[in-house]
Amino acid sequence: IKPKVGTVCFGVAASQGALLLAGGEKGMRYAMPNARIMIHQPQGGCGGHVEDVRRQVNEAVQARH
């Protein structure tokens, strides 16, 4: 059984909550007129050898687009 899942935001869907909201079936994702949905920009730290830092920066740039 593969039931269709609908999601509704009544107030705030922030961070991981926004991803859960997006997990609803296409055409079954809703937000009330005054609802707020917030998704973070990718963030993180990096360290190590220069090539490791370069690779981590490139991955972060790709994740942002």
User: Which stretches of the chain score pLDDT less than 70?
Assistant: none
Query: Considering the entire predicted model, what is its pTM?
Result: 0.64
Residue identified by tokens 């296409």 is 26
Tell me the C-alpha to C-alpha distance, in Å, between residue 31 and each of 7, 25, 58, 63.
8, 14, 34, 25
Exactly one of 4, 26, 40, 65 is catalytic; name it: 40
Give catalytic status of residue 40 as yes or no. Answer: yes
> According to the model, what pLDDT value does residue 17 have?
96
> According to the model, what pLDDT value does residue 2 have?
87
> According to the model, what pLDDT value does residue 46 have?
80
> How is the chain split into domains, by residue range?
7-64
What does the pLDDT look like over 26-41, one tens digit per residue?
999 999 999 999 998 8
Can you read off the two tokens belonging to residue 14?
């922030």
